Structure formats: C-alpha cells, structure tokens
C-alpha cells in the first residue's frame, strides 16, 4: 500500500472499518466507501501583482450500501462520529426506498486488485506561497516581454495540489494511493490595431512532478505567440474544405470517442457508436489507447473507482472499435467484464472514465500535414457544446488559420465547423507524429478530409 | 427561517476572533461565509428508479481583500483552530501589521426580501414521493409515442443555509432552496435514433411539479422533441436572418452580453464591452436587465453571497449600455453601484460578479408578424449550451429545436444548428422584438472560472437580421 502522508490519512483505515461495520450492523449486504483528502495552494498574479491567493484543505467520505439489489450513496465532509453514524443510517433508509436493480452490486471479490503497484505519482516538493508568486510572475512577465502588443492579461496562475484516496469494501478490500500535481498557466491579451479589438489565448503546463513542469519563460513565450497570431482575424465564406485540428483541439475528438464508448452511453442507447464493436468506425490511421498505468500520467492510478486493477486497453485498433470502456455495472449490462475504467466522485455511483487516453502518433510531421493542404482551415481553438453524442452531429465555433498552398495565410474567427462524428472519424486522412501528453487526453495533429465551414 | 451561528454550532466570539486574525491595516475588507448544504438526487432509467444519492457538506470560507488583492482560504472543519488557520492564510496578502479596530457585529439583519419561502422544506420530501414522480414521468413519456425507447429522468434538490459576517459588522444569512427536474428521451425509428430533453425548476417546492400537471407536461415535451428530431433535416450553413423564440433562447443575452458586462472583466479592461457605458451597443428596440428579485426563480436570491440584497439592474436601455453587474470588490475599485451580484458556488469558491436572471423586456411586434417578415432563415426555439470568449466577444450557442423559415412560414425541423456571433454587434442587428416576453423553465447553470451557479434567462420572440448558422447543408 502506498503511504498516506496527509493530515488525517493515518486514521482513515480505522474509520473505513468502523463505517463498513456499522452498515453491516444495519443490515446492508454489501458496502463500499471512498475517502478523499486534498490540500492545495494556488496564486494568481495579474499585471505583476498578486490578484488572488487561495489555500484549500478538504476531506470527504462517501459510502455506498446495498440491501440485496437495492442501493444508495451519500457523502459528507463532517467526520464526527455522530455525523457518520447518521450518514450510514440515512443511506440505508435511502437504499430501502429505491427499487431492486438486478445488475447492481460490488465486483466479484476475486477481481479486486491484489498487488497495488507504486505508480510514482507523488512529488513531495512543497511550494511556498512566495515560490508560487514568483513562478506566476515570471510566466506573465515572459509573455509581456515577448511583444509590445501584449498590453493586458487575465493573469498567470501557479498551483500545487496533494491528495490521497482510500477505497475499502465489504469484501475486505482496502487500498490507497497518494498523488500530486503542479500547474502553471498564463492568459495574455493583445491589442488588435487592425480592428481595434482584443485577442486572448493561453498556454499551460501540468505535471505530477514539479521538476517536469515547463519553465515559466517557455510557457509565457508560447502563450504570447498563440495570442499574437490571432491578431487581424477575419471571417471566411461558407464552404466545404479540409480541416486540420492542432493537438489541443484534436483532444476534443478523443473526448467524444471516450464518451461514446462508455458502457453507460451504450446501454442507454445514447451513443453514436452503438453496436459498432468489432466494426470499422474510423480511418485505419486511427488507433486509440487508454492506459491507466502510464508512467507519470495525470490519469494514471493503481486501481479504479471500484478497486479493480487499471490496465492498458486498445479502444480503437487501426480504425476498428476493439473495446468499450466499462466498469462493473455497465459491463454486466452489456454482458462483458469491466475494463478497469470505473471513475468515481466521492459519494456518487461509479461511472466510466478514461484514464490516459491517446491517439497513437502517425508518421507525418505537423509541417508535412500543413504542406499537404492546398486550401482549408487549420483549427487552433473551439468553443461551444454543439456535439450530439447520440447522433454524432457536430457543430462548433472555431478559431484558426486559413491555409493556401500549404501556408498559413491569415487568422480566422467567427466561423463554425460542422459534420457528423461518424463521418469525421472515417475522414481522418493524416495523423501527426507530434503526440505529447498535456493532461489526461492527448492527440497529435489530425487532418480531416472535409468539413462544412460556415462563415459570411 | 433565518439562520444563526448556532445552526453551525459556532460562537460569535470565536468567529470574530478568527476574523480579527485576518485583519491588517492595509486590508480593506474581511468576511467569513459559513455554509451548510444538503443535496438529494434520485434518477431513473430503464423504467427503474435505481439511483438515490445524498450529500451533506459544511464549511467556511474566509477572505481578506487589500486593494486588488484577495486572500482566500476555506475549511470544511468549523473548529476554532481551523477557522484561525484559514484566516491567517487569507491575511497573507496583507503587508502591514495587525489592524487597530477589532471587528464587532454591529448590524445583525435578515433579508428584506422573501422570494422563495416554501411550505415544505425540500429536505422533507420523502424518497418515496420522488420515486413516484419519476415513475409517472416514465409512463407519460412512453405513452406519447411508441417510438420513445428510452426515458431518463432525474430530480435534484438542494437546501443551502449560509451566513456572512464581515468587517463592517454585518451579520446576515439566508436559506436558499433549489430544485430541478430533468428528462431526456431517446426516440428510435429503424436506425434513426434521436434525443430530446426538457426540464424545469427553480427555488420551488415539490408541489410546483405537481401543479397544473407540470411534470407530465415536461415529460411530453422531452418526448415531443425526440420524435420531432426523427424527422429533422440537416441545418443550413451560412449567414441568414434568425428568429429566436421566447424564453430559453434568452441564453443569447447571457452569452452575447451578460458575461461581457460582469464588472471584473471591465475593471481589468479584458471585456469586448470595456469602456462602452453610455454608448450604443444594441438596436433601440433592446432593453435588457439582470434581475435577482423575481420570486421562485432559479437565478433569484434574497441576498447575494456577500449579503447584499439583490436588485434589478438596467444593463442596456433602448440600445444604450447603462452599467455593469458588481460584487463588493469590483464596485469599490471601480467606484460604481453595488448591484447584489456577488456569487460563489459554495464555501470552497471565491466571490465573482455573476448574473442572476438576465432577460430582454417585451417589445411591440406580433410574433407571427416577425416570422412572416423572414423570407428564408432559421427559427430557433430551444437550445443546449452556449459559450463566449469575453475578450474577442465571440459567442456560440447550439439549437436543440429549430426550424427553417421559408417564405415567411415555419417549415422543416433542422438538426443541430450552432449560431455564432460577436457580442457587441449581434444586438445591433435586432430589427423586431415581440410582445411575448417569456422566462425560461428554470434549468440554467452558468460556468465561470470553474464555478457553477444557477441562473435564469428570458426573451421575447426577436428577429436578428443576420447571423452565422453552422450546419452541414449548403445554406
């Protein structure tokens, strides 16, 4: 078991035992519980001055009880004995009020993870508030130094967080792990002399280990570069053209695949990938992997929200949908085994979540992909929620560049790109070699054969 | 019922002692927000109410403000020691030594408005009654049409009690109920599968859903939208006149105008609306307000999360930008009125200026005349979500129910149209405003800086002469 080194951590196993025993005493046939504890400090600096400093320390306990096939969940942040006793009895009453659900229940006892690996997810480096202020200041300063057209800022933020999780259930399972994360970001604003408006963009780095963070100087420069390149934006006419998604926007497509292959979307009939297992759903350039044990990954964890071992799952294999992502409940619904993708907020029922989900890199450099485009749109930012996961209909606001003969000609804004995800995935005609993890989802540059672009 | 410190097992002297830790000479303002919140959620799918979830959270947030700097810390433990640690952290932003004047509670007040007192507290609704409501919804939605194959519904309630104590000696609190019923239906016809959603709520009790058979209406409405979408054609792509129906399409105002008028962005001059007060930003047919005082509404509050009574704020009057919505920090730094828009998601979050209920006042046109005036365009009556880039002013919002207008008549339903525009321009293109102002059904949640708060919107039928519609069919 990993070491619980946070504030109350040492008494959690005992607390878990007491709560589970109490649920049993009240007649629960099965129960599980999750305790999460976290500690974080973040600072925001704007125009070199401290704008906001926040410090947080919190803990929460969630319990799920089963009375045969009836179940309910609750959570509380009050760990006093009286409060926990009340929580358990309230949860038991709730469970008795809902109907039986034949599918419900804990995973089988022999499926629980037995060997909890140390996944090296925690850095003990504590940042002082002054260090954070300095890092944020340098990041913002680096953006301002890049160009005189950067005249304003929404601020730079530095934060560090440390957390631990303990999961226990009535099978006698108990497991825990601790993790940390550090992040640094800045949002510079540039004045657009051409049309009198303003443009903003941002850049960031987030890592489990402090020493792996990108330098403040590099983050600031990149944020400035991204902001400046938006100046002089125009709209374009409505037309159907090839579209390149840069890695930051291509991640969004992976997010949609992730939702569509979640066992919950599937058994509810709410996925455009329903009934597609074993079938070709994308171009053969598309291979998507979910890896819960990627070293240093922000989505890595030794066991999932139900205590099952995490693993590496091939979700899409050269265009063929080769696995759904499942937890115990949604797996049972579909007649399949869990893929160790139970994701859980404390006090909620498990659902399915990706761990570290990525699109395998292809063979083209981003420059080669750009060169291949005679005329089309290179997308660098998307806004809005115009994605219907039931039908795959896709329509979002886009920002990027117009491309002529393999060169970026001018920035573009106030356009939408639209299509249907089923077709978009099949129309992926180039995948870049520029895969880099920056969060739990990662994608290289991707080129789509054609999409409808709406403008003036 | 007005909460008191004893509801949190806190002594006034302990709270003041903690607050005094946060005070320094250069600190302008200190407050403590103590909150307790109970949420209950039941959900149904596959004709079974199989999920019931309850959560209890309690804690306090302490902040100190010095000039533009905010120091903030929270604790989910209300022990004197933890509150003092939080106060010490909040004070970190101060450069100067301890203040000379200890804080005392000088005015203990209760809200002067009573916008949502309920006969039965939400926490008293039995689980059995919640389950029964969802079961009836399932039956009603399926009865609407045999092509409805899946019905999912959830009923959520939240009972929040909070108190604010500040360095000006104020002690004030409120009890805020909030509930919401949400229904999603999937319709299938061969391989054609479509979705429809509907819901409603507000700071209302359980009887709201039963009165006028409201919950059953919601169920039929979700089913109707799903069935309608089975016959929807691809949305057109391109620039065209757009007619927005009344009510929920008011999300346009929220995205295009509202966020850009939040004081924090304007103080920092990062909003596309910065420095435009007194200038024309909309057609003179447009008068838009933010009003937190509408009884039982989802975005309403007796007092905001800083204890300021909410109010009705004129944002745009006959096309002219009149003002911003403010919290204490920004009102003070900008020297403008405090409007009662200081809001936070919970004790873990800092206060930001946020909208309450944002809507356009009724005009004089007949909605039918508005549609008849459009030769070829889009008529949108229901929306999913929206988003805005405050700095560039570009916003989008996505239609969940929309139709083509052909020769002045509403014809075929279209799928998934996204509308995109520029905040400071779009309302200048409003050429007709209907007399049918309607508020939404009470499902809106607004996200900002990672914090979600309940909000309302409203709109009469309006005509926008030109907007970009993002669809897949050549327009």
In total, the C-beta contacts within 8 angstroms joining chain A to chain B are 257
How much is the average pLDDT of A364-382?
Answer: 98
What are A116-146's pLDDT values in tens digits?
998 989 999 999 999 999 999 999 999 999 9
DSSP notation for B243-265: EEPSSGGGHHHIIIIIGGGBHHH
Task: Work out whether strand B48-66 and strand B69-75 pair parallel, antiparallel, or are unpaired.
Answer: antiparallel
Token couple for B38: 């109970």
Helix-strand-coil split of chain B, %, nearest 5: 25, 45, 35
Residue with tokens 């979640």: A262
Assess whether pLDDT exceeds 50 at residue B429.
Answer: yes
Q: Using 50, 70 and 90 to split pLDDT, how confident is the model at A4?
A: very low
Q: Using 50, 70 and 90 to split pLDDT, how confident is the model at A1?
A: very low
How much is the average pLDDT of B360-368?
Answer: 98
How much is the average pLDDT of A193-205?
Answer: 92
Q: Can you give the pTM of this predicted structure? A: 0.95
Q: Using 50, 70 and 90 to split pLDDT, how confident is the model at A350?
A: very high
Percentage with pLDDT > 90 across chain A: 92
Contact residues, chain B, for A152 at CB < 8 Å: 268-270
The length of chain A, given as a count of residues: 456
- Check residue A9 and give its pLDDT: 60
Residues 6+ apart with CB under 8 A from A105: A30, A66, A69, A71, A328
Contact: B238, A415; criterion CB under 8 Å: no
Contact: A77, B76; criterion CB under 8 Å: yes
Contact residues, chain B, for A414 at CB < 8 Å: 394, 420-422, 468
- Check residue A3 and give its pLDDT: 36
Maximum Cα–Cα distance for chain B, whole Å? Answer: 76
Give the whole-angstrom CA distance, residue B316 versus residue B81. 48
* Residue ranges of B 73-92 with Cβ closer than 8 A to chain A: 73-76, 86, 89, 92
- Check residue A39 and give its pLDDT: 92
Contact: B387, A384; criterion CB under 8 Å: yes
Q: Using 50, 70 and 90 to split pLDDT, how confident is the model at A196?
A: confident
What are B365-386's pLDDT values in tens digits?
999 999 999 999 999 999 988 9
- Check residue B416 and give its pLDDT: 81
Residue with tokens 């609190």: B173
- Check residue B99 and give its pLDDT: 81
Give the whole-angstrom CA distance, residue B209 versus residue B134. 11
Is residue A385 helix, strand or coil? coil
Contact residues, chain A, for B417 at CB < 8 Å: 395
Assess whether pLDDT exceeds 60 at residue A386.
Answer: yes
Assess whether pLDDT exceeds 80 at residue B219.
Answer: yes
DSSP notation for A245-281: E-HHHHHHHHHHHHHHTBHHHHHTT--TTTT-TTSB-
DSSP state at residue B361: P
The contacts found for A210-215 with CB under 8 angstroms, 24 or more apart, are A210/A123, A210/A125, A210/A127, A210/A160, A210/A182, A211/A123, A211/A125, A212/A296, A213/A182, A213/A183, A213/A184, A214/A184
Question: Do A283 and A319 form a contact (C-beta atoms < 8 A)?
Answer: yes
Q: How far is A117 from chain B (nearest CA, A)?
A: 31
Helix H or strand E encompassing A200: strand A198-200
Q: Using 50, 70 and 90 to split pLDDT, how confident is the model at A330?
A: very high
Helix H or strand E encompassing A91: helix A81-97
DSSP-assigned beta bridge partners for residue B82: none
CA B473 to chain centre: 33
Q: How far is B295 from chain A (nearest CA, A)?
A: 30
Give the whole-angstrom CA distance, residue B156 versus residue B51. 12
Nearest CB to A90 within list B54, B149, B235:
B54
What is the pLDDT of chain B when averaged over all its residues? Answer: 96
Assess whether pLDDT exceeds 90 at residue B132.
Answer: yes
Assess whether pLDDT exceeds 80 at residue A2.
Answer: no
Give the whole-angstrom CA distance, residue A41 versus residue A135. 13
Nearest CB to B386 within list A233, A235, A384:
A384
Contact: A413, B392; criterion CB under 8 Å: yes
- Please tell me the least confidently modeled range out of A132-146, B5-19, B106-120, B218-232: B106-120
Assess whether pLDDT exceeds 60 at residue A82.
Answer: yes
* Residue ranges of B 97-136 with Cβ closer than 8 A to chain A: 126-128, 131
How much is the average pLDDT of B338-348?
Answer: 97
What are B145-197's pLDDT values in tens digits?
999 999 999 999 999 999 999 999 999 999 999 999 999 999 999 999 999 99
Residue with tokens 């069919």: B473
What are A390-419's pLDDT values in tens digits?
999 999 999 999 999 999 999 999 999 999
- Check residue B119 and give its pLDDT: 87
Assess whether pLDDT exceeds 80 at residue B475.
Answer: no
What are B21-32's pLDDT values in tens digits?
999 999 999 999
Nearest CB to B470 within list A46, A87, A416:
A416
Contact residues, chain A, for B475 at CB < 8 Å: 238, 454
Question: Do B277 and B269 form a contact (C-beta atoms < 8 A)?
Answer: no
Residue with tokens 């974080």: A40
Task: Work out whether strand A320-321 and strand A312-317 pair parallel, antiparallel, or are unpaired.
Answer: antiparallel
0.90 surpassed by complex ipTM: yes
Q: Using 50, 70 and 90 to split pLDDT, how confident is the model at A10?
A: confident
How much is the average pLDDT of B191-215?
Answer: 97
Give the whole-angstrom CA distance, residue A174 versus residue A178. 14
Assess whether pLDDT exceeds 60 at residue A436.
Answer: yes
Assess whether pLDDT exceeds 50 at residue A439.
Answer: yes
């Amino acid at each position: 078991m990993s070491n619980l080194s946070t504030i109350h951590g040492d008494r959690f196993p005992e607390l878990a035992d007491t709560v589970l025993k109490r649920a049993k005493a009240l007649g629960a046939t099965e129960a599980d519980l999750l305790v999460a504890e976290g500690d974080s400090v973040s600072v925001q600096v704007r125009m070199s001055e401290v704008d906001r400093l926040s410090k947080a320390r919190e803990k929460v306990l969630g319990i799920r009880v089963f009375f045969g096939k009836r179940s309910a969940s609750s959570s509380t942040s009050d760990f006093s004995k009286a409060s926990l006793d009340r929580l358990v009895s309230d949860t038991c009453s709730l469970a008795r009020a809902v109907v039986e659900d034949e599918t419900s229940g804990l995973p089988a006892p022999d499926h629980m993870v037995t060997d909890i690996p140390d996944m090296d997810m925690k850095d003990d480096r504590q940042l002082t508030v002054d260090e954070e202020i300095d890092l944020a200041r340098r990041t913002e300063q680096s953006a301002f130094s890049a160009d005189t057209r950067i005249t304003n800022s929404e601020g730079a933020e530095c934060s560090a967080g440390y957390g631990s999780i303990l999961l226990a259930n009535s099978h006698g399972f108990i497991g825990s792990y601790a993790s940390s994360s550090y992040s640094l970001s800045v949002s510079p604003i540039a004045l657009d002399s051409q049309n009198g408006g303003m443009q903003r963009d941002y850049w960031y780095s987030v890592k489990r280990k402090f020493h792996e963070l990108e330098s403040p100087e590099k983050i600031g420069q990149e944020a400035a570069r991204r902001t400046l390149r938006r100046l002089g934006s125009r709209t374009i006419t409505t037309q159907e053209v090839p579209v390149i998604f840069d890695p930051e926007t291509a991640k969004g497509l992976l997010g949609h695949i992730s939702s569509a292959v979640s066992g919950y979307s599937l058994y509810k009939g709410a996925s455009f990938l329903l009934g597609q297992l074993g079938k070709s759903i994308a171009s053969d350039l598309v291979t998507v992997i979910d890896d819960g044990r990627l070293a240093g990954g922000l989505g890595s964890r030794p066991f999932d929200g139900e205590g099952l071992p995490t693993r590496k799952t091939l979700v899409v294999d050269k265009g063929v949908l080769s696995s759904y992502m499942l937890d115990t409940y949604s797996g049972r619904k579909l007649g399949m085994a869990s893929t160790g993708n139970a994701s859980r907020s404390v006090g909620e029922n498990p659902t399915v979540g990706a761990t570290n989900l990525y699109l395998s890199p292809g063979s083209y450099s981003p420059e080669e992909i750009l060169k291949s485009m005679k005329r089309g749109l290179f997308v660098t930012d998307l806004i809005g929620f115009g994605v219907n996961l039931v039908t795959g209909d896709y329509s979002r606001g886009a920002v990027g560049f117009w491309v002529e003969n393999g060169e970026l000609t001018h920035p573009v804004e106030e356009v939408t790109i639209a299509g249907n995800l089923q077709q978009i995935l099949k129309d992926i005609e180039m995948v870049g070699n520029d895969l880099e993890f920056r969060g739990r989802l990662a994608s290289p540059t991707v080129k789509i054969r054609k999409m409808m672009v709406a403008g003036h | 019922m007005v909460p008191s410190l004893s509801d949190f097992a806190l002594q006034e002297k302990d709270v003041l002692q903690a607050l005094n830790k946060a005070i320094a000479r250069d600190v302008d303002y200190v407050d403590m927000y103590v909150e307790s919140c109970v949420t209950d959620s039941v959900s149904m799918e596959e004709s079974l109410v199989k999920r019931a979830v309850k959560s209890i959270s309690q804690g306090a947030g302490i902040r100190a403000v010095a000039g533009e700097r905010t120091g903030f810390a929270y604790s989910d433990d209300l022990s004197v020691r933890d509150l003092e640690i939080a106060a010490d952290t909040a004070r970190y932003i101060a450069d100067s030594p301890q203040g000379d004047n200890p804080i005392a509670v000088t005015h203990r007040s209760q809200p002067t408005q009573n916008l949502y007192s309920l006969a039965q507290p939400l926490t008293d609704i039995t689980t059995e009654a919640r389950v029964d409501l969802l079961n009836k919804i399932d039956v009603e939605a399926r009865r609407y049409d045999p092509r409805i194959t899946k019905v999912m519904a959830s009923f959520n309630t939240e009972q929040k009690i909070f108190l604010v104590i500040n360095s000006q000696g104020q002690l004030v609190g409120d009890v805020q109920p909030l509930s919401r019923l949400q229904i999603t239906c999937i319709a299938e016809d061969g391989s054609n599968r479509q979705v429809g959603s509907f819901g409603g709520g507000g700071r209302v009790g359980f009887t709201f859903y039963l009165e006028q058979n409201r919950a059953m209406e919601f169920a039929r409405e979700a089913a109707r939208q799903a069935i309608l979408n089975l016959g929807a054609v691809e949305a057109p792509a391109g620039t065209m006149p757009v007619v927005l129906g009344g009510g929920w399409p008011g999300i346009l105002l929220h995205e295009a105008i509202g966020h850009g008028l939040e004081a924090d962005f304007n103080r920092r001059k990062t909003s596309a609306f910065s420095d435009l007060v007194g200038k024309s930003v909309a057609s003179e047919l447009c008068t838009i307000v933010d009003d937190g005082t509408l009884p039982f509404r989802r975005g309403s509050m007796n007092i905001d999360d800083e204890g300021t009574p909410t109010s009705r704020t004129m944002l745009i009057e006959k096309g002219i930008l009149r003002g911003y919505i403010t919290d204490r920090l920004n009102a003070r730094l900008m020297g403008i009125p405090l409007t009662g828009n200081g809001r936070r998601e919970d004790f873990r979050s800092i206060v930001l200026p946020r909208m309450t209920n944002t809507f356009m006042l009724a005009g004089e046109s007949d909605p039918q005349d508005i549609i008849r005036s459009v030769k070829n365009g889009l008529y949108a009556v229901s929306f999913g979500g929206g988003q805005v880039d405050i700095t560039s002013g570009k916003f989008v919002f996505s239609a969940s129910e929309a139709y083509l207008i052909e020769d002045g008549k509403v014809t075929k339903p279209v799928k998934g149209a996204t509308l995109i525009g520029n905040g400071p321009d779009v309302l200048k293109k409003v050429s007709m405003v209907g007399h049918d102002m309607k508020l939404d059904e009470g499902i809106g949640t607004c996200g900002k800086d990672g914090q979600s708060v309940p909000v309302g919107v409203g709109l009469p039928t309006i005509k926008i002469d030109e907007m970009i519609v993002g669809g897949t069919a050549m327009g």
